[in-house]
């Protein structure tokens, strides 16, 4: 009994010291908030690094704004996804400790870049926030290109419409010579991002054309793509795939002016951001037969309300923003976002940093 009491006494003397030391060590680590349950590779990197203490909104649904503003208070870093608006309100809530925002996305239209680099006044002194931003380009390029091609084929070959017909009228249709006819890729011109063209090359597309802020011969030469103006892209394309970033210059750029110049048999594909498209103009173009069809992986808002007029159209295929949704790609994005965050907190170069 004496031995047991002695051991218990020792444990009581040791345990408070150990726990206190542990909490003291933890309290000195940078504090990070992860705004969504992200793929495991990124979380493992944060855990195993021993360099941060982090809390995560453990849900597939977006964190409520009120909860987000509460949780970022005092944080040194934030790992977010594209549903979280990193704006003046959030930065004020986070406070002066915030050093790094790492977004698990290639797009950054949800980040208020001007606010991230803005000068603020604290106790009559002016400081530049100087918050560094990490993002995840390149690792999702192949996956997005694959989905773009899949969406293009599903839309142009009317697969969703055909599935509906098979389910509703299968016993009537079978092999009907004149039913659900489409054009073949081999006879069409494709306008859009060169990487998509590389995957469509085996389909014997007649001609590839593209536009950008400037010619990109290093990519275009791979598939003998021709650089044209935006207007010429609209006029010549049988398939037009939009894969640009959402910026003030590209916001609403795909509107009636574009659709009215396109061929009546043209297919419009968007896997970039919903904001580049004027959806009311697109609905009019599709419903009046101005263009033949559209395939959208992105919309405004997301998710698009089920009562939206675009859902009533047979010639419009709408997906719930799944272009990067492969296990490999999402884990690579998560890992890159975590490594960006840790490097930024250490004051080191990030693997992929958005220069403000």
Active site residues: 321
Separation between Cα atoms, residue 293 and residue 289, nearest integer Å: 9
Q: Phi then psi for 277, rounded to 5 degrees?
A: -115, 135
Separation between Cα atoms, residue 217 and residue 284, nearest integer Å: 36
Residues in the chain: 356
Asked whether the beta carbons of 269 and 294 are under 8 A apart, the reply is yes
What angle separates helix 141-156 from helix 159-173, to the nearest 10 degrees? 40
Asked whether the beta carbons of 316 and 296 are under 8 A apart, the reply is yes
Q: Beta strands 189-191 and 239-242: pairing type?
A: parallel
Separation between Cα atoms, residue 229 and residue 249, nearest integer Å: 15
Separation between Cα atoms, residue 329 and residue 331, nearest integer Å: 5
Q: Beta strands 125-128 and 119-122: pairing type?
A: antiparallel
Q: Phi then psi for 286, rounded to 5 degrees?
A: -75, -40
């Amino acid at each position: 009994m004496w031995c047991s009491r002695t051991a218990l006494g020792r444990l009581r003397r040791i345990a408070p010291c150990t726990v206190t030391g542990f909490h003291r060590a933890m309290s000195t680590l940078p504090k990070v908030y992860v705004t969504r349950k992200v793929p495991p590779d990124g979380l493992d990197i944060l855990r195993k690094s021993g360099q941060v203490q982090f809390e995560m909104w453990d849900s597939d649904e977006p964190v409520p704004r009120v909860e987000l503003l509460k949780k970022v208070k005092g944080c040194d870093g934030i790992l977010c996804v594209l549903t979280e608006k990193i704006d003046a309100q959030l930065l004020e809530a986070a406070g002066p400790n915030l050093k790094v925002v790492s977004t698990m996305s290639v797009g950054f239209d949800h980040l208020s870049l001007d606010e991230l680099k803005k000068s603020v006044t604290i106790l009559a002194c002016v400081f530049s926030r100087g918050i560094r931003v990490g993002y995840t380009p390149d690792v999702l390029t192949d996956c997005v290109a694959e989905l773009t091609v899949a969406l293009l084929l599903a839309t142009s070959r009317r697969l969703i419409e055909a599935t509906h017909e098979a389910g509703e009228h299968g016993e009537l249709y079978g092999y009907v010579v004149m039913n659900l006819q489409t054009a073949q890729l081999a006879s069409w011109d494709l306008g859009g991002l060169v990487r998509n063209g590389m995957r469509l090359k085996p389909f014997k597309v007649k001609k590839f054309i593209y536009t950008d802020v400037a010619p990109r011969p290093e990519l275009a030469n791979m598939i003998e793509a021709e650089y044209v103006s935006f207007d010429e892209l609209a006029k010549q394309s049988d398939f037009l795939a939009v894969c640009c970033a959402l910026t003030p210059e590209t916001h609403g750029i795909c509107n009636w002016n574009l659709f009215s110049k396109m061929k009546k048999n043209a297919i419009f594909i968007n896997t970039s951001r919903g904001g580049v498209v004027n959806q009311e103009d697109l609905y009019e173009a599709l419903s009046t037969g101005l263009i033949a069809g559209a395939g959208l992986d992105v919309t405004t808002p997301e998710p698009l309300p089920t009562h939206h007029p675009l859902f009533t159209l047979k010639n419009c295929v709408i997906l719930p923003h799944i272009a990067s949704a492969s296990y490999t790609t999402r884990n690579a994005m998560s890992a890159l976002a975590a490594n960006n965050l840790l490097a930024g907190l250490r004051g080191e170069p990030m693997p992929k940093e958005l220069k403000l």
